[in-house]
Amino acid sequence: MKNTPSRFAPISDRLSGLGAAKWAVHVEGLDRAAAGKKVTFLSIGEPDLPPPASVLDQAVASMRGGRLKYAAGQGEQVALDAIAAHLSRRSGQEVSPDQIVYTAGTQNGLCTVLMTLVQSGDEVLVPDPYYATYEGLVAASGATFVPVPTLPEDGFHVTAKQIEAAITPRSRVLLLNTPSNPTGAVLSQNEIDEIGEVCERHDLWIVVDEVYADLTYGAPFCSPFDRPHLRHRTLAVSSISKSHALPGFRAGWIASQLEVTPRLVLVAEAMLFGSQPFIEDALAVALSQRHPEVERLSSAFRDRAHHLVSAFEGSSAAKARMPEGGMFIMVDIRETGMSGEEFAWKLINEHDIVVMPGESFGKGGAGHIRLALTNDAAVLREAGSRIRAAAEAVSASR
Ligand SMILES: Cc1ncc(COP(=O)(O)O)c(C=O)c1O
């Protein structure tokens, strides 16, 4: 057979097949809902509470005021100043606006970072379970995705030892996510220092996805970017998608050491060449003022998590623990003998409840399902009780 050269670069081949299977149950739920069936969705992590009115007002005022031209490639000064001030307040250490690159959300920020740091032949270490888009992000850069297994018994907290065991001479980046989607794990300062010590020894970049930084439920948030001895090797990426319930704004940032910023800007400009100035103005208002809506949002998620977790209290067939942060809980259904995927199909087919199989987030999620806290407490509690009863029935019939 004649060997015709492909008309496409390998990137789309690398990306194909990475997404669809993860979302099969959710997509089936959407189809059934569109056909008129009453379905409860616990699958998607889109904040369901209102964003701050003053942030929306600023976006409209800026749009009407003519802030509609091309923005600066690194970001508008007003946004860079607000992000730097936000991170300086958080860490108690000076962060300069020159260390910030504005991005179209965390996803775009992570893509910019990986394209800047790694290429084919390099390895990116990722604690498993991991956020569903990470495999695609790493594949897009050409680098190799290396999952680092974590254990449910440790609350899915990755340890320095687990990371060190996965390091090879090709390892370049450790991609962390704290608070974690899907596991709810929040890394402590001590854990970050131990992990940081391994990264120092092996000269790895630390890339940290902090999109849930403002949603913690007791465990204090800690970033490697805020640790003075780790800042030079850390790139911290976040957005106002979750904290301010504004995912559609696509408004986020990368914070890094000064020398990295110009390289990130080159890649960011190649992709977008500037964002929307009126959205950047709104992000500045989001980060510079206190908003009652933001406080309500984080206390609502905490309250919902308590309600949902309490539905599983005392069950050995479906075990859930309070997440330390984020918008999800993982339910351990290994006792049923089913995989997370089998159990998720059972829930949609027999109970009209849509959840994400743990396996959608890597091998580490096996035997679990992920529930999103994006529903009223009463709905969550009721769905939780039905999921528990379903798991107990399977367990009892074994
Ligand atoms: C861990 C994690 N990172 C990144 C994102 C995407 O964030 P953004 O809207 O800022 O691109 C999500 C969204 O669900 C997420 O859960």
State the Cα–Cα distance between residues 191 and 185, nearest whole angstrom.
12
**Which DSSP string do the residues of 143-172 spell out, in sequence order?**
PEEEEEE--GGGTT---HHHHHHH--TTEE
State the closest ligand 1 atom to the C-alpha of 104, by its place in the atom list counted from 1: 11
Clarify whether residues 156 and 141 are in a common domain: yes
157 inside domain:
yes
Ligand 1 pocket, CB under 6 A:
45, 105-107, 131, 177, 181, 209, 211, 239, 241, 247, 252
pTM of the model: 0.96
CA angle 154, 361, 131 (to 5 degrees): 90
Q: What is the CA radius of gyration of the chain?
A: 21
Q: Do 82 and 219 fall into the same domain?
A: yes
Cα-to-centroid distance, 355 and ligand 1 (Å): 18
Q: What range defines the domain where residue 119 resides?
A: 53-288
Q: Are 372 and 45 in contact (CB under 8 A)?
A: yes
Looking at residue 13, what is its pLDDT? 93
Q: Among 248, 270, 288, identify where a domain stops.
A: 288
> Which of 234, 257, 288 is at the close of a domain?
288
Atom of ligand 1 nearest to the CA of 131: 1
The reply to whether 37 falls in a domain is: yes
3 within a domain of the structure (yes/no):
no
Determine the atom of ligand 1 nearest the C-alpha atom of 108: 11
**Tens of pLDDT, residue by residue, the chain (398 residues):** 456 778 999 999 999 988 778 999 999 999 999 999 999 999 988 899 999 999 999 999 999 999 999 999 999 999 999 999 999 999 999 999 999 999 999 999 999 999 999 999 999 999 999 999 999 999 999 999 999 999 999 999 999 999 999 999 999 999 999 999 999 999 999 999 999 999 999 999 999 999 999 999 988 999 999 999 999 999 999 999 999 999 999 999 999 999 999 999 999 999 998 899 999 999 999 999 999 999 999 999 999 999 999 999 999 999 999 999 999 999 999 999 999 999 999 999 999 999 999 999 999 999 999 999 999 999 999 999 999 999 999 999 98
| Cα–Cα distance measured from residue 16 to residue 6, given in angstroms and rounded to the nearest whole number | 15
| Interval 254-296: pLDDT, tens | 999 999 999 999 999 999 988 999 999 999 999 999 999 999 9
Round to whole Å and give the CA distance between 123 and 168: 8
φ/ψ of residue 207, rounded to 5: -110, 125
For residues 71 and 276, is the Cβ–Cβ distance under 8 A? yes
Nearest protein CA to atom 7 of ligand 1, as residue: 106
How many A from CA of 377 to the centre of ligand 1? 23
Contact 170, 143 (CB under 8 A): no
Which atom of ligand 1 is found nearest the CA of 251?
10
One domain for residues 166 and 263: yes
> Can you give the pLDDT at residue 171?
98
Is position 4 within any domain?
no
In the beta sheet, which residues pair with residue 26?
A: none
- Please tell me whether residues 83 and 183 are part of one structural domain: yes
pLDDT at residue number 382: 96
CA 317 to ligand 1 center in whole angstroms: 30
Whether residues 60 and 170 fall in one domain = yes
Measure the CA–CA gap between 212 and 180, rounded to whole angstroms. 8
Kindly state whether residues 57 and 121 are assigned to the same domain: yes
Q: How many CA atoms lie within 13 A of 133 on its CB side?
A: 10
| CATH number for the domain that contains residue 306 | 3.90.1150.10
The verdict on residue 220 lying in a domain is yes
Asked whether residue 281 is domain-assigned, the answer is yes
Closest CA to 328 of 346, 315, 309: 309
For 299, counting Cβ atoms within 10 Å of its Cβ (0-12 exposed, 13-18 middle, 19+ buried), the class is: exposed
The domain that holds 226 is classified in CATH as 3.40.640.10
Nearest ligand 1 atom to alpha carbon 239: 10
**44 and 59 together in one domain:** no
The predicted pLDDT at position 18 comes to: 86
d(CA 351, CA 343): 11
Residues 245 and 377 in one domain: no
CA atoms of 97 and 208, how far apart (whole Å): 19
Structure tokens at 20: 């669809």
Alpha-helical (H) ranges within 311-357 are: 340-351
For residue 224, give the nearest of 165, 163, 153 by alpha carbon: 163
Residues near 383 by beta carbon (within 8 Å), at least 6 away in sequence: 40, 42, 308, 311, 353, 371, 375
Q: What is the pLDDT of residue 17?
A: 82
Q: How far apart are CA 52 and CA 63, in angstroms?
A: 17
Number of domains in the chain: 2
Indicate if 85 and 113 belong to the same structural domain: yes
Rounded to the nearest angstrom, the gap between the alpha carbon of residue 142 and the centroid of all alpha carbons in its chain is 21
235 belongs to a structural domain? yes
Structural domain ending residue among the three candidates 241, 272, 288: 288
Same-domain pairing of 253 and 278 = yes
Q: Whose CA is nearest to atom 16 of ligand 1?
A: 181
Q: Nearest CA to 73 among 282, 258, 268, 277?
A: 268
